[in-house]
């Protein structure tokens, strides 16, 4: 498989686009989970719509592009899709009750949970800087939970659980990385996700209004485009460069929530979100330092051998 040519400016543009699109999916999920477009839909039905229409978009892309598909690793795909479906369903459930920006900020704990899970599952070592980043990010999440009798947000626990579940999905994504081309991964992910979601939604299905059908289609289209932008952006620049840009999702989420629902982030939301972002940036900084140190060591070693 030919490596994608590095292009950091294009990567940044793709990740910003992915962030705007991803925040748009949570906006539509909130509209569907409340009474804005008709009787509220169950989160299982919203995630079903996400996989249904995303699958149709990706199948159309495959039919046009006709990429060369290879033999997939079915076990890794099933694990990745199962956790991804559960995570997105919990995320869609949470945004019906708490501000989109809060749910989005909590979702940035995904890499923290993935880091912790990688210790037993991938046998990765975790140093003090990584633990510091995890502690800081989790402190921010605790603030967003508002753990007092007067202000506690039970629905925020849905977003927190979603972050943990998607952290597990990231473990499977790491194992899939480099094995198959991006469009094949997206095709199989959405095909399996649609199958799982179709079984789950059969217990709670209700016929959507025309506006809800449009929003469900919008979620699928936006999610498919966001995935494509994110995968292609990641392929064109180092993860340490791309990861901080993805935090733009929080900005878009806050803007959308204010523009459509008139929700203004309060002081607690802003403080908690800022702390989570700080933890995430510490993790990104440490990963960049570690990667550069490893590269320098290999370069020095190669130079010594060449002498």
Q: Is residue 231 part of a domain?
A: yes
DSSP label of 246: T
Whether 267 shows a pLDDT value over 90: the answer reads no
What's the domain range around 296? 8-301
Provide the domain count of the chain: 1
Q: What is the pLDDT of residue 266?
A: 85
Whether 37 shows a pLDDT value over 70: the answer reads yes
Name which of 46-50, 232-236, 290-294 the model is least confident about.
Answer: 290-294
- Interatomic CA distance for residues 59 and 77, integer angstroms: 17
pLDDT > 70: percent of the chain: 89
Q: Is residue 1 part of a domain?
A: no
Whether 304 shows a pLDDT value over 60: the answer reads no
> Per-residue confidence at 298, pLDDT binned at 50, 70, 90?
low
> Per-residue confidence at 295, pLDDT binned at 50, 70, 90?
low
With contact defined as beta carbons under 8 Å apart, do 51 and 197 qualify? yes
Whether 119 shows a pLDDT value over 60: the answer reads yes
Q: Is residue 264 part of a domain?
A: yes
In terms of average pLDDT, the best of 6-15, 130-139, 185-194 is 185-194
Q: Is residue 307 part of a domain?
A: no
Q: Is residue 65 part of a domain?
A: yes
Alpha-helix runs per DSSP H in 177-245: 182-201, 210-235, 239-245
CA neighbor of 187 nearest in space, from 110, 87, 81: 81
Name which of 40-49, 77-86, 103-112 the model is least confident about.
Answer: 103-112
Name which of 31-40, 91-100, 151-160 the model is least confident about.
Answer: 151-160
pLDDT > 90: percent of the chain: 43
- Interatomic CA distance for residues 197 and 220, integer angstroms: 13
Q: Is residue 155 part of a domain?
A: yes
What's the pLDDT tens digit per position in 129-144?
888 888 888 888 888 8
Name which of 85-99, 140-154, 186-200 the model is least confident about.
Answer: 140-154
> Per-residue confidence at 53, pLDDT binned at 50, 70, 90?
very high
Q: Output 191 or 107, whichever has higher pLDDT.
A: 191
Name which of 19-23, 27-31, 235-239 the model is least confident about.
Answer: 235-239
In terms of average pLDDT, the best of 39-53, 218-232, 258-272 is 39-53
pTM of the predicted protein model: 0.83
Q: Average pLDDT over the chain, rounded to whole? A: 86
Q: Output 20 or 141, whichever has higher pLDDT.
A: 20
Q: Is residue 166 part of a domain?
A: yes
Q: Is residue 2 part of a domain?
A: no
Q: What is the dihedral of CA 181, 183, 184, 187, to 10 degrees?
A: 160
């Amino acid at each position: 498989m030919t490596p994608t040519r590095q292009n950091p400016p294009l990567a940044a543009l793709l990740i910003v686009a992915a962030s705007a699109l991803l925040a748009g999916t949570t906006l539509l999920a909130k509209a569907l989970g409340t009474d804005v477009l008709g009787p509220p839909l169950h989160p299982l039905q919203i995630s079903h719509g996400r996989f249904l229409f995303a699958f149709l978009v990706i199948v159309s892309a495959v039919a046009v592009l006709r990429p060369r598909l290879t033999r997939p690793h079915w076990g890794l795909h099933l694990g990745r899709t199962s956790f991804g479906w559960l995570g997105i369903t919990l995320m869609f459930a949470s945004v019906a009750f708490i501000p989109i920006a809060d749910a989005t900020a909590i979702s940035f704990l995904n890499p923290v949970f993935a880091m912790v899970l990688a210790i037993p599952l991938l046998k990765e070592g975790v140093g003090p800087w990584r633990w510091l980043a995890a502690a800081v990010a989790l402190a921010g999440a605790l603030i967003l939970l508002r753990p007092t009798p007067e202000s506690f947000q039970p629905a925020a626990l849905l977003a927190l659980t979603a972050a943990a579940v998607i952290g597990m999905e990231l473990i499977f994504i790491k194992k899939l990385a480099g094995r198959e081309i991006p469009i094949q991964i997206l095709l199989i992910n959405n095909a399996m996700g649609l199958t799982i979601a179709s079984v789950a939604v059969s217990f709670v299905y209700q016929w959507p209004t025309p506006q809800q059908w449009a929003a469900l289609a919008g979620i699928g289209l936006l999610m498919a485009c966001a995935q494509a932008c994110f995968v292609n952006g990641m392929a064109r620049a180092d993860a340490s460069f791309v990861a901080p840009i993805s935090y733009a999702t929080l900005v878009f989420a806050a803007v959308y929530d204010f523009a459509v629902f008139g929700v203004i982030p309060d002081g607690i939301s802003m403080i908690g979100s800022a702390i989570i972002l700080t933890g995430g940036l510490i993790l990104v900084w440490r990963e960049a330092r570690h990667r550069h140190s490893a590269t320098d060591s290999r370069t020095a070693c190669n130079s010594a051998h060449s002498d």
